[in-house]
């Protein structure tokens, strides 16, 4: 525990082969490790922390454990979230994404490497890093305009740590329909998220080997790379790797418009 928790504040966003997260979520989900045991060990670890960084990391992990309890309380006290938005006005959103777009997202065929690598990781292992869960959920709901409930169901079918309360809370956060939701006008840019959290493209290369030969500055958005770079890496968009399924900038504007219409009607 200590080896990971003391570096958690930074490590929780590192998309390396051995991510700096606890990996305890399946055990918490199925009760093979109890939350009180985890908190007891965390308190012990914190008492041994000798730096400001390690103390901060312990407190950051505690806050994440508290979010888990928070979502359990939301589901317990507001069971309607299992069937719809915590903020009822957002049930009025017109989800215009297509089945084909949803299927492409599920299969990791969107043309956005960080999204596709994340989905292929999920399909191959049954697990996904939390940073990636936020990225792919935001992409499905805000870029593709596919209902968060479809993504929620897909995660529950594939995640080894699938938990109704936490999964529902996370998806409603991403779609801006939850009690603690990300404001609807804050929409992740999948390219900048990729550049920030997988700067060298190591995670992308592991799950998208067809892009492995691309240089770091091209792997996050291959369609923007120069033709000679693509040719040297033996990448042909539309053949060896998909073209982007949507234009993020245009999709963002459309999403802002749809959400603002719903919000203005209910203010």
Tell me: the pLDDT tens digits for 60-105? 999 999 999 999 999 999 999 999 999 999 999 989 999 999 999 9
134-163: average pLDDT: 97
In sign, the C-alpha dihedral spanning 153, 157, 158, 161 is: positive
Cβ atoms of residues 86 and 78 within 8 Å = yes
Active-site positions?
64, 67, 95, 130, 148, 171
Residue whose entry in the numeric block shows the structure tokens 């490590």: 11
Give pLDDT, residue 267.
67
Cβ atoms of residues 234 and 209 within 8 Å = no
In sign, the C-alpha dihedral spanning 219, 221, 225, 228 is: positive
The pTM score is 0.94
Give pLDDT, residue 3.
78
């Amino acid at each position: 525990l200590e080896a990971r928790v003391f570096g958690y504040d930074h490590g929780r966003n590192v998309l390396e082969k051995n991510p700096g997260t606890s990996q305890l979520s399946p055990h918490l989900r199925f009760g093979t490790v109890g939350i009180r045991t985890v908190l007891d060990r965390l308190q012990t670890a914190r008492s041994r922390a000798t730096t400001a960084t390690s103390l901060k990391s312990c407190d950051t992990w505690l806050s994440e454990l508290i979010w888990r309890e928070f979502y359990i309380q939301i589901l317990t006290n507001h069971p309607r979230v299992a069937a719809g938005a915590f903020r009822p006005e957002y049930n009025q959103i017109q989800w215009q994404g297509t089945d084909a777009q949803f299927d492409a997202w599920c299969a990791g065929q969107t043309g956005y490497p960080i999204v596709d690598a994340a989905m292929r990781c999920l399909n191959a292992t049954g697990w996904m890093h939390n940073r990636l869960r936020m990225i792919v959920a935001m992409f499905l709901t805000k870029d593709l305009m596919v209902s968060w409930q479809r993504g929620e169901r897909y995660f529950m079918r594939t995640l080894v740590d699938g938990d109704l309360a936490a999964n529902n809370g996370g998806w409603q956060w991403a779609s801006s329909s939850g009690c603690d939701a990300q404001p609807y006008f804050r929409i992740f840019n999948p390219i900048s998220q990729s550049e920030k959290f997988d700067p060298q493209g190591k995670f992308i290369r592991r799950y998208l080997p067809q892009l492995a030969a691309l240089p770091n500055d091209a792997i996050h958005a291959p369609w923007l790379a120069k033709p000679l770079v693509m040719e040297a890496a033996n990448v042909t968009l539309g053949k060896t790797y998909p073209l982007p399924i949507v234009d993020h900038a245009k999709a963002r504007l459309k999403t802002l418009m749809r959400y603002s219409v719903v919000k203005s009607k209910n203010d």
